[in-house]
């Protein structure tokens, strides 16, 4: 993994932004991620149905981002948790032109919903989960950039107006008591592991529409972007099966059935 220097130039490229987890108590999980993995908060906000907190998990030399989603009340997220329990909810990619990416995704047979082009700091659309991947895939376009990794790790100051942020969000400080939790030794977040029932569709989506570099080894497709990667393996049942830590000496944990800290395995 390369160091994440999200300059304005890098913002025009397709990139892997984060893997997101639905949880019932985001602050409890946030303390665990900070205490066990040395996770650094990036931004958090409150919306009508949920609140979220985005982390960087890594060092100055590389890492990746994880998001926690917690419901505020009845809505899509509470329904997800009631049906599936805690676990992986979506993966997010940033694209330079959301309308074009949506058109390309539809052209290969993906179902796209929730298009919103009104907020330049975070325009978004969603590919519905289906039997091929069994996870929501979010596409986003932003005119903002994350701080460089060096800046992110050097300060606790977060100016939400300069970061990718969500339209209609409030209370960007709800999570700041987390700074009182001592950070454990920083570990490096590695690839997100995804099982697919249709590897050719996965190749068209991730390599063609989302412009990943792709290699294949031992039956596994590795899709790579500047800020993260997917490892995709064919299985009878699709879904996210894990997120690796590149520091293999670190202890792992599970959010629902999804392990953080060990390679994913097909279910």
**Residue 11 pLDDT more than 50?**
no
Report the pLDDT value the prediction gives residue 157, as an integer from 0 to 100: 95
For each of the domains in the chain, give its residue range(s) and CATH number, in order of start: 10-165+185-260 (3.10.180.10)
Torsion of CA 164, 167, 169, 173, to 10 degrees: 20
* pLDDT digit string, tens, across residues 198-256: 999 999 999 999 999 999 998 899 999 999 999 999 999 999 999 999 876 667 899 99
**Residue 10 pLDDT more than 50?**
no
Q: How confident is the model at residue 261 (pLDDT cuts 50, 70, 90)?
A: confident
**Residue 167 pLDDT more than 80?**
yes
Q: Are the C-beta atoms of residues 3 and 153 closer than 8 Å to each other?
A: no
* pLDDT digit string, tens, across residues 108-121: 999 999 999 999 99
**Residue 266 pLDDT more than 80?**
no
Q: Are the C-beta atoms of residues 75 and 50 closer than 8 Å to each other?
A: yes
- CA atoms lying within 13 Å on the CB side of residue 3: 12
E strands, the chain, are 15-22, 40-46, 50-59, 62-71, 87-94, 112-116, 123-127, 136-141, 189-196, 213-217, 220-225, 228-234, 239-245, 253-255, 258-260
């Amino acid at each position: 993994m390369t160091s994440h220097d999200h300059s304005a130039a890098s913002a025009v490229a397709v990139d892997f932004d984060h893997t997101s987890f639905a949880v019932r108590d985001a602050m409890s999980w946030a303390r665990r991620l900070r205490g066990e993995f040395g996770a650094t908060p990036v931004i958090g906000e409150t919306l009508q149905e949920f609140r979220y907190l985005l982390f960087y998990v890594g060092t100055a030399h590389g890492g990746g981002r994880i998001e926690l989603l917690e419901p505020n009340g009845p809505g899509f997220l509470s329904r997800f948790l009631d049906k599936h329990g805690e676990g992986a909810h979506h993966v997010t990619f940033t694209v330079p032109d959301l309308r074009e990416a949506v058109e390309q995704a539809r052209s290969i047979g993906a179902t796209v919903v929730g298009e919103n082009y009104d907020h330049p700091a975070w325009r978004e659309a969603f590919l519905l989960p289906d039997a091929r991947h069994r996870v929501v895939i979010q596409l986003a376009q932003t005119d903002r950039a994350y701080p460089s990794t060096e800046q992110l790790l050097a300060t606790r100051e977060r100016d939400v107006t300069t970061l990718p942020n969500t339209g209609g969000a409030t209370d960007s400080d709800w999570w700041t008591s987390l700074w009182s939790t001592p950070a454990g030794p920083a570990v490096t977040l590695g690839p997100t592991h995804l099982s697919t029932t249709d590897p050719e569709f996965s190749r068209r989506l991730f390599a063609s529409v989302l412009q990943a570099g792709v290699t294949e080894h031992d039956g596994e497709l590795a899709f790579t972007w500047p800020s993260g990667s997917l490892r995709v393996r064919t299985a009878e049942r699709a879904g996210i099966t894990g997120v690796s830590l590149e520091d293999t000496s670190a202890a792992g944990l599970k959010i629902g059935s999804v392990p953080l800290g060990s390679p994913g395995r097909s279910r």
